[in-house]
């Protein structure tokens, strides 16, 4: 995402990432972060229904380059629209959208009306099948949920292959380096951000953190959302941002690191392979 900070969120501020149902890392400024981590480290976003809550009435423009509105509701165990949500990372609901080939990633924030209807102005850039994830915490349960549903956008689709694993990527003139290995036993992922060879040491707060990380399992788009270790004002604002993650299974993942600098939000993308810590010859732990 390259939206200006003051414009990026529809009806509000910017978003959070990587805990998309594969798990939430240490939440910045959240004293209960460790407890949440243990509960959240599982594959989510694979269904439109969980624990009695359902992502329903999802509509969006049917064609690319056609301005319109993306709408949906969240219904509860009683079948009625849910209207009371806890605020998590400055928003009551985080919307993550990605095409089936893991491209066209977007993180946005719709607004809710009094009747529980969520909406956001929306235009698809390209045709294809898209997965829409709603990440939220119902006030009634206090438990983070991620529900997913697919939307088809008509037109000839040119799907992109999954890029090979890489330790370095560039975005908007920034170079981001990944150190660490994903593992089913848990491990640290360290991202170092530079520009023109100079370390970035003045990252801007973005939804209550210096960065957010979303991971999607490559084969089925299972969702994981994680937040960095440390706290705003106590942790140095770069050049390194550290996440503790636990992969729900071995295999390839697409990582999306969102960070704010120069009054803009930038998204660095990586392909990474998680190892199975229980397999013979594999050792769990932190790798740097």
- Using CA atoms in the order 206, 47, 11, 114, what is the torsion angle rounded to 10 degrees? -140
* Three-state DSSP class for residue 190: strand
Neighbouring C-beta atoms of residue 51, cutoff 10 Å: 12
Q: Do 33-153 and 168-274 have matching folds?
A: yes
Distance CA 66, CA 238 (A): 39
pLDDT, residue 157, reads 95
CATH topology of domain 168-274: Immunoglobulin-like (2.60.40)
Distance CA 247, CA 67 (A): 37
- Using CA atoms in the order 176, 180, 184, 186, what is the torsion angle rounded to 10 degrees? -100
Q: What is the pTM of this model?
A: 0.82
pLDDT, residue 277, reads 76
Bridge partners, residue 141, by sequence? none
Locate tokens 């698809």: which residue? Answer: 124
Judged by average pLDDT, the poorest of 33-42, 121-130, 193-202 is: 33-42
96-116 pLDDT, tens digit per residue, is 999 999 999 999 999 999 999
225-261 pLDDT, tens digit per residue, is 887 898 898 999 999 999 999 999 999 999 999 999 9
Distance CA 208, CA 28 (A): 7
Ranges of each domain in the chain = 33-153, 168-274
Mean pLDDT of 273-283: 73
Q: What is the mean pLDDT of the chain?
A: 85
159-185 pLDDT, tens digit per residue, is 999 999 999 999 999 999 999 999 999
**What is the torsional sign of CA 16, 21, 22, 23?**
positive
Distance CA 21, CA 11 (A): 24
33-153 CATH choice from 3.20.20.10, 2.60.40.10, 3.30.450.20, 3.40.50.720: 2.60.40.10
Distance CA 43, CA 33 (A): 18
Locate tokens 């009054």: which residue? Answer: 263
Structure tokens at 213: 């990380």
């Amino acid at each position: 995402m390259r939206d200006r900070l003051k414009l990026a969120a529809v009806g509000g501020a910017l978003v959070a990432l990587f805990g998309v149902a594969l798990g939430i890392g240490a939440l910045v400024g959240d004293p209960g972060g460790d407890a949440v981590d243990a509960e959240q480290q599982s594959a989510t976003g694979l269904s439109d229904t969980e624990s009695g809550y359902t992502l329903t009435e999802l509509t969006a423009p049917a064609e690319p380059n056609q301005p319109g509105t993306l709408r949906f509701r969240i219904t509860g165990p009683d079948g009625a629209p849910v209207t009371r949500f806890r605020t998590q990372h400055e928003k009551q609901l985080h919307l993550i959208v990605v095409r089936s080939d893991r491209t066209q990633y977007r993180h946005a924030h719709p607004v809710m009306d009094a009747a529980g209807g969520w909406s956001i102005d929306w235009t698809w850039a390209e045709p294809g099948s898209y997965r829409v994830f709603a990440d939220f915490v119902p006030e009634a349960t206090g438990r983070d949920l991620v529900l997913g549903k697919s939307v088809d956008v008509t037109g000839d689709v040119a799907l992109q292959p999954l890029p090979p694993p890489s330790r370095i990527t560039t975005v908007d003139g920034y170079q981001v380096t990944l150190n660490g290995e994903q593992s089913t036993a848990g491990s640290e992922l360290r991202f170092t951000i530079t520009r023109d060879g100079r370390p970035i040491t003045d990252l801007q707060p973005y939804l209550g953190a210096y960065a957010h990380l979303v991971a999607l399992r490559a084969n089925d788009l299972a969702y994981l959302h994680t937040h960095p270790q440390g706290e705003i004002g106590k942790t140095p604002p770069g050049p390194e941002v550290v996440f503790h993650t636990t992969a729900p299974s071995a295999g390839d993942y697409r990582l999306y690191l969102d960070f704010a600098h120069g009054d803009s939000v930038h998204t660095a993308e990586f392909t990474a392979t998680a190892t199975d810590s229980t397999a013979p010859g594999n050792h769990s732990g932190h790798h740097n």
